Structure 1
């Protein structure tokens, strides 16, 4: 099987290369870029010295159409131009950008400040939150890979919404991310002197992942109201911790909640529900496709706290994309994703 990575020189692209170049079902991994074509990949990523002989190629639509899979690890605004040219050909497409996640074009235009992808493309794109949408992913030819914050948040909240355990209008999400989520391009916000020993809130009530999270929550419970969602940049390279709060609809103890989560995710290979009373840290999923979850009830306030941690570049991007590819191929979804966390 031959696959292509468009946007191969970004952090998401190089993680896709790391996973796909060792995937047992991938024969060739072709790297594309709109700005660095004709250069050895190792020039961009010297850690691949002796491991990669690939050259970065220019984007050639006709060539990509004949691949088995094309991964679009591109900034938002690019995929909506490329996807219509690839869909309907041989290649199945997995888009890691935000261009195809929102079904309502007006929502995209409001939150992403640009023109939406064509509606027929939006309608064909399957939201690739694998654990919750596996059957649709199996039949898909075009995947909208979820965002990193939505992945952690939605996996954390899903059991509560599906079991009707919380007031769907009471959800508050406090999320923190490492610097790699901002991409490889240098900026003042990611400058060492600005971020080291600093904790910064950003995009307050304006983050583009808000409508994506709300869209999926409403599919699970139409009464879900607007969420409160805040994001913080923390001085580490990778990882997301999403801490979620909601009002319980009935008295329920932590032990019962833990049992519900354990049963809900019993057959999900990448979801690890931590023992009751134990809470995960981001380093415990570093470099893996795991999402670790903990849940605890507060009988004093009758609220629940859920903690979810992921590696934003793996489960929040490249790993989930490969997981979706595996499901689309009908093979074990863990193929090529057997990695122990890197610790410490």
Structure 2
């Protein structure tokens, strides 16, 4: 019999938080016992999200660690950057299992964190405790862990597209160029000029060029699997759609392999990992084909004319890039089947 646990979600009125609610409501081993929002405490959740009128908790709780620890066994922190730095240690010290969906504990280097996030890193003792939960790559580290740092959306889609071929040593790791495009929900629910309808609609633009805070997170993963320092060029773009990330990756092979051999390398690497799907030759994934699901779809094109390999990787940024992967990590943490509560077929069209 599977162990049932009580879950709290902190940051429940953001897009990642509400997606966690949607998934955990149908998870057979989880009961949501606390839904927390510092900005909306005491109000009904349906006031912020009318589609959740039948959720089992009546009102949003405040960020009260003893109260949350009394109600829950595991807490998901779907909070803005900087918040988890303060509250995750308190949650851990109270005996809770913690899955942090923010970026506060992803980077192991304090210097790197402070340079890219422009704020001081959390206490080193807690950073060391955090297991980086890129499930298909480092999933063996997750079972039995108390503290999971959930990967970012761009790092998930890009790292899954690169790890097998980087680990195999088939490419020049100094040649990596990533051109990534995200839907607007990746910026969160807060309002701003870059997410204003009139600015985004019928528009397409690059942002944080060579400065995106997810750059060192991807490089950390690639360096870990390569066994040496890996750096890359990483450019992000905002496109006028709600969900999805498409990462187009350009690399230069240094080992002569056919496209079929590259495809087989990826299939073998992700064998037994149900949420990564490798496309057949000449078939390339689109964001609509993973919408609302926990899948990452990957396709390839080896250009014999230029010698470059193009890798195309797609996810739903709110699911595989946030809430879905957090639930996947919960499953691994608890020793449950990895797919429990995540068997969503993509919504199409």
Place the TM-score, normalised by the shorter chain, in its bin.
over 0.9
Structure 1 residue aligned with 2:192, among 169, 187, 193?
A: 187
SS of match in other structure, 2:30: coil
2:60 aligns with: 56
1:105 aligns with: 110
Structure 1 residue aligned with 2:157, among 146, 152, 157?
A: 152
Deviation at 1:193, TM superposition (A): 0.8
Deviation at 1:88, TM superposition (A): 3.7
2:348 aligns with: 343
Change (3 A) 1:224 1:105: closer
Structure 1 residue aligned with 2:134, among 109, 129, 147?
A: 129
Conserved in 2, the CA contact under 8 Å of 1:42 and 1:52?
Answer: no
Find the aligned partners of 1:17 and 1:89 in 2 and give their Cα distance: 23
1:117 aligns with: 122
2:261 aligns with: 256
Change (3 A) 1:162 1:225: closer
Conserved in 2, the CA contact under 8 Å of 1:20 and 1:29?
Answer: no
Change (3 A) 1:28 1:297: same
Deviation at 1:139, TM superposition (A): 2.7
5+ unaligned residues in a row in structure 1: which ranges? none
1:302 and 2:307 matched: yes
State the TM-score, normalized to the length of structure 2: 0.96
2:319 aligns with: 314
Structure 1 stretch displaced more, 39-48 or 228-237: 39-48
Find the aligned partners of 1:8 and 1:51 in 2 and give their Cα distance: 12
TM-superposition CA deviations, 1:114-159 (whole Å, max 9, x none): 1110000110000000111112111311011000000000000011
Deviation at 1:51, TM superposition (A): 4.9
2:36 aligns with: 32
Conserved in 2, the CA contact under 8 Å of 1:257 and 1:296?
Answer: no
State the TM-score, normalized to the length of structure 1: 0.98
Conserved in 1, the CA contact under 8 Å of 2:8 and 2:76?
Answer: yes
What is the RMSD computed on CA atoms of the aligned residues?
1.1
Find the aligned partners of 1:90 and 1:333 in 2 and give their Cα distance: 24
Aligned residues: 344
Conserved in 1, the CA contact under 8 Å of 2:14 and 2:78?
Answer: yes
Conserved in 1, the CA contact under 8 Å of 2:80 and 2:102?
Answer: yes
Structure 1 stretch displaced more, 234-243 or 245-254: 245-254
Find the aligned partners of 1:28 and 1:53 in 2 and give their Cα distance: 8
Deviation at 1:108, TM superposition (A): 1.0
Deviation at 1:52, TM superposition (A): 5.4
5+ unaligned residues in a row in structure 2: which ranges? none
Structure 2 residue aligned with 1:244, among 238, 249, 253?
A: 249
